[in-house]
Amino acid sequence: MVEPSRLAGGESLRMLQAAFMRALLDPLPEPDSAQGSLLSTCDIVAREIVARGIAPAKRLSIYRKNTETNFAASLRLSFPATYRLVGKDYFRHCARLYQLQRPSCSGDLHHVGEAFAEYLAQLHAHDRYCYIGDIARLEWLCQQSLLAADRSPLDLAKLAAVDLSDYDSLCFLLHPSVRLFSSKFPCQTIWQANTADDNTSENIDLDLASDRGPEYLLIFRDSLGLLLQGLNACEYSFLGNLQRGETFTTAVQAANTESAAFNPSDSLRRWVAMRVIVDFKLMR
Amino acid sequence: MPNLLVDAVPLPLPANANANANAGIGLRAQHHSELLERSPAVPWVEAHSENYFADGGAHIEALFKIRSRYSLSLHGVGLSVGSSDALDAQHLKLLRRNIDRFQPMLVSEHLSWSSVGGRFANDLLPLPYTDEALQHVANRIANIQDALGRQILVENVSSYLEYTASQMPEWTFLAGVATEAGCGILLDLNNIYVAARNHGFKPLDYLNAIPASTVQEFHLAGYSAINIDGQEILIDTHGAPVCTAVWNLYAGALQRFGTRPTLIEWDTDIPELDVLIAEAHKADQLRHQYGRA
């Protein structure tokens, strides 16, 4: 850990910065009158800022607006389908409320969406937009998948060399881009309809879809980009166990409790070919 | 896909662009494929360091390919150099990883702050120009350079306010930080112009106060203007062509400092690649006219 030679940048610098940050990220008493009300909430900073023809509060409001705009723009990049579903104005409104509650905690804006899905899910837990949190959660997983590490495919010769007696301790590793998703809503359909380049609209019947039971998705990245594939309950259970580091044997047993029709060797072959499974290790 | 991260094979890198090479352009993701398909004749590109913090994926792969054809500069917007918080070790680690994997010719950050108490504004906020802040920022830059194992450049930012506590002009602060920390200076001529118009000083006073030996890069960009209380404030949007006054200031900078790697920056309303290249060619013409080695 690199520490500054001095513990903090001197007390007056720290106090100035803290007051400035409050002016950017604390809620205002009257959200619709930023220009006037900022002064009263940011007294210290207002006293520290040179006016030169423009009230310090109005100078500060340029930075407050920048902070809000940068944050919302970054969220929009991570959540394009959510943005399209809720519309520009409501998205901007939610983005600001979320920012005041969960401000960015990194110099890398890619992280700001980390809790956005959870925020939206709570906000709309009991209304007709109750699916919106799940759409945002799916989009966040897609972004994680796109940014994950690269990995070479499974070395089949190495796998063939594993002794039969070691099969019980075999653990398969998934590609770092693999994410698993489940929802009671038809999220893949909603997501696809709202990330398509064309502007055609499609009616999706949530009630009809919910009769079909939960949706399970495999999200991963191949050389051409992001892929979303539907899974059945067995496959979802199987991959989930592999991802949690369980042995192949345990994962197969768990999948079989979902359905006796689960075929482990077919599944293994398919996911190795698709580079969803990329390595293995032996648990000793 | 080759395992670009794990197999740290030395890259067949092009020679780094020197100060007398033509102007470079800011690298934005929407230009990745066009840059790789056409390989236009620009000597170098500058990428935002944080845009390539990912472990892998398409953008990282694209930057490896771009780096195999072009010299590269890494330009950070998120390290929060002037913050009174402790340095973010994880951010430094990821920046160091990018330096190791992409081997840039220059690494730069901003002379500003963006976080305190763990909260980030993700904006380039101005510092008070006090002796206390100068010492603090210089110490912090020295620590950053130790952690990265190399010198960095710091860039002057645009600003929309000044502090009553400031004891010196921005140029004295910038030059002082560079001397104290042993870092270089990235002089953004648009930011000087914007700050000069917003705060009422002469841009040439700024240039004349900066020691030539510290300046290692120039930035050129466009701004926009807003009106508050009947007074115009220029905002550093990086979303427009370079204005005539900034081209003139660039000519002045070439005369005072000599030629330095020069970059066309464009971050919002990003135009076609050819528009950026045309702006870079304008910079080249001025370099031929006014520059000296």
Cα dihedral A267, A269, A270, A276 in deg (nearest 10) = 90
The C-alpha atoms of residue B39 and residue B32 are separated, in whole angstroms, by 10
**A44-53, B223-232, B254-263, range with the lowest pLDDT:** A44-53
Supply the pLDDT for residue B264: 96
- Residues in chain A within 8 Å Cβ distance of B122: 67, 70-71, 74, 104, 107, 109, 112
- Residues in chain A within 8 Å Cβ distance of B119: 21, 25, 103-105
Torsion sign across C-alpha atoms B195, B200, B202, B205: negative
pLDDT at B6 over 80: no
* B188, β-bridge pairs: B219
- Residues in chain B within 8 Å Cβ distance of A14: 84, 116
Supply the pLDDT for residue A7: 36
- Which A residues, 117 through 156, put their C-beta within 8 Å of a C-beta on chain B? 146-152
Mean pLDDT across chain B, nearest whole number? 93
Residue A19: pLDDT band (50, 70, 90) is very high
Put simply, whether A48 touches B (Cβ < 8 Å) is: yes
**A141-145, A222-226, B198-202, B285-289, range with the lowest pLDDT:** A222-226
Partner-chain contact B115 A107, CB within 8 Å: yes
Per-domain residue ranges for chain B?
24-290
Put simply, whether A47 touches B (Cβ < 8 Å) is: yes
Among candidates B6, B53, B87 on the partner chain, residue whose Cβ is nearest the Cβ of A108: B53
The number of beta carbons lying within 10 Å of the beta carbon of residue B214 is 20
Supply the pLDDT for residue A3: 38
Partner-chain contact B163 A2, CB within 8 Å: no
Search chain B and give the residue with CA nearest A18. B116
B109-142 per-position pLDDT tens digit: 999 999 999 999 999 999 999 999 999 999 999 9
Question: Which CATH architecture is the domain B24-290 placed in?
Answer: Alpha-Beta Barrel (3.20)
User: Which numeric CATH code is attached to A151-284?
Assistant: 3.90.930
Per the CB < 8 A criterion, the answer to whether B155 and B186 are in contact is yes
Supply the pLDDT for residue B1: 40
Q: Which residues contact A181 (CB under 8 A, 6 or more apart)?
A: A137, A138, A141, A187, A216, A217, A219
Partner-chain contact B3 A16, CB within 8 Å: no
The model's pTM is: 0.92
The C-alpha atoms of residue A207 and residue A209 are separated, in whole angstroms, by 5
- Residues in chain B within 8 Å Cβ distance of A58: 228-229
Mutation choice for B interface testing from A5, A106, A142, A146 by most B CBs within 10 A? A106
Per-domain residue ranges for chain A?
1-114, 151-284
pLDDT at B94 over 70: yes
A-B CB pairs within 8 A amount to 195
Supply the pLDDT for residue A202: 67
pLDDT at B192 over 60: yes
The C-alpha atoms of residue B172 and residue B70 are separated, in whole angstroms, by 35
Supply the pLDDT for residue A4: 36
Search chain A and give the residue with CA nearest B199. A52
Partner-chain contact B135 A58, CB within 8 Å: no
| Pairing verdict, β B153-155 and B184-188 | parallel
The C-alpha atoms of residue B151 and residue B158 are separated, in whole angstroms, by 23
pLDDT at A86 over 80: yes
Partner-chain contact B89 A2, CB within 8 Å: yes
Residue B24: which of B65, B69, B64, B56 has the closest Cα? B69
- In three-state form (DSSP H/G/I as H, E/B as E, the rest C), the secondary structure along chain A is CCCCCCCCCHHHHHHHHHHHHHHHHCCCCCCCCHHHHHHHHCHHHHHHECCCCCCHHHHHHHHHHHHHHHHHHHHHHHCHHHHHHHCHHHHHHHHHHHHHHCCCCCCCHHHCCCCHHHHHHHHCCCCCCCCHHHHHHHHHHHHHHHHCCCCCCCCHHHHHCCCHHHHHHEEEEECCCCEEEEECCCHHHHHHHHHCCCCCCCCCCHHHHHHCCCEEEEEEEECCEEEEEEECHHHHHHHHHHHCCCCHHHHHHHHHHHCCCCCHHHHHHHHHHCCCEEEEEECC
Calculate how close chain A gets to B137, using CA atoms only, in Å: 8
Per the CB < 8 A criterion, the answer to whether A4 and B139 are in contact is yes
Per the CB < 8 A criterion, the answer to whether B25 and B262 are in contact is no
Residue A2: pLDDT band (50, 70, 90) is very low
Search chain B and give the residue with CA nearest A102. B119
Partner-chain contact A107 B79, CB within 8 Å: yes
HSE-CB at A281 with a 13 A cutoff on CA atoms is 8
- In three-state form (DSSP H/G/I as H, E/B as E, the rest C), the secondary structure along chain B is CCCCCCCCCCCCCCCCCCCCCCCEEECCHHHHHHHHHHCCCCCEEEEEHHHHCCCCCHHHHHHHHHHCCCEEEEECCCCCCCCCCCCCHHHHHHHHHHHHHHCCCEEEEECCEEEECCEEEEEEECCCCCHHHHHHHHHHHHHHHHHHCCCCEEECCCCCCCECCCCCCHHHHHHHHHHHHCCEEEEEHHHHHHHHHHHCCCHHHHHHHCCHHHEEEEEECCCEEEEECCEEEEECCCCCCCCHHHHHHHHHHHHHHCCCCEEECCCCCCCCHHHHHHHHHHHHHHHHHHCCC
Supply the pLDDT for residue B71: 94
Calculate how close chain B gets to A124, using CA atoms only, in Å: 26
Higher pLDDT, A210 or B259: B259
pLDDT at A33 over 60: no
Torsion sign across C-alpha atoms B52, B58, B61, B63: negative
- Per-residue pLDDT, averaged over A37-64, amounts to 80
Torsion sign across C-alpha atoms A150, A156, A158, A162: positive
Residue A249: which of A236, A274, A232, A268 has the closest Cα? A268
Partner-chain contact B139 A5, CB within 8 Å: yes
The C-alpha atoms of residue B192 and residue B132 are separated, in whole angstroms, by 23
Written as six digits, the tokens of B30 are 């929407």
Partner-chain contact B119 A105, CB within 8 Å: yes
- Per-residue pLDDT, averaged over A30-44, amounts to 55
- Residues in chain B within 8 Å Cβ distance of A55: 229
Supply the pLDDT for residue B149: 97
Mutation choice for A interface testing from B116, B180, B232 by most A CBs within 10 A? B116
B235-282 per-position pLDDT tens digit: 998 889 999 999 999 999 999 999 999 999 998 889 999 999 999 999
- Residues in chain A within 8 Å Cβ distance of B123: 24, 63, 66-67, 70
Calculate how close chain B gets to A253, using CA atoms only, in Å: 33
- Per-residue pLDDT, averaged over A93-118, amounts to 96
pLDDT at B37 over 50: yes
Calculate how close chain A gets to B123, using CA atoms only, in Å: 6
Q: What is the ipTM of this complex?
A: 0.93
Residue A52: pLDDT band (50, 70, 90) is confident
- Which A residues, 230 through 269, put their C-beta within 8 Å of a C-beta on chain B? none
With b for 16 or more beta-carbon neighbours within 10 A and e for fewer, the B79-98 pattern comes to bbbbbbbebbeebbebbeeb
- Per-residue pLDDT, averaged over A24-51, amounts to 68
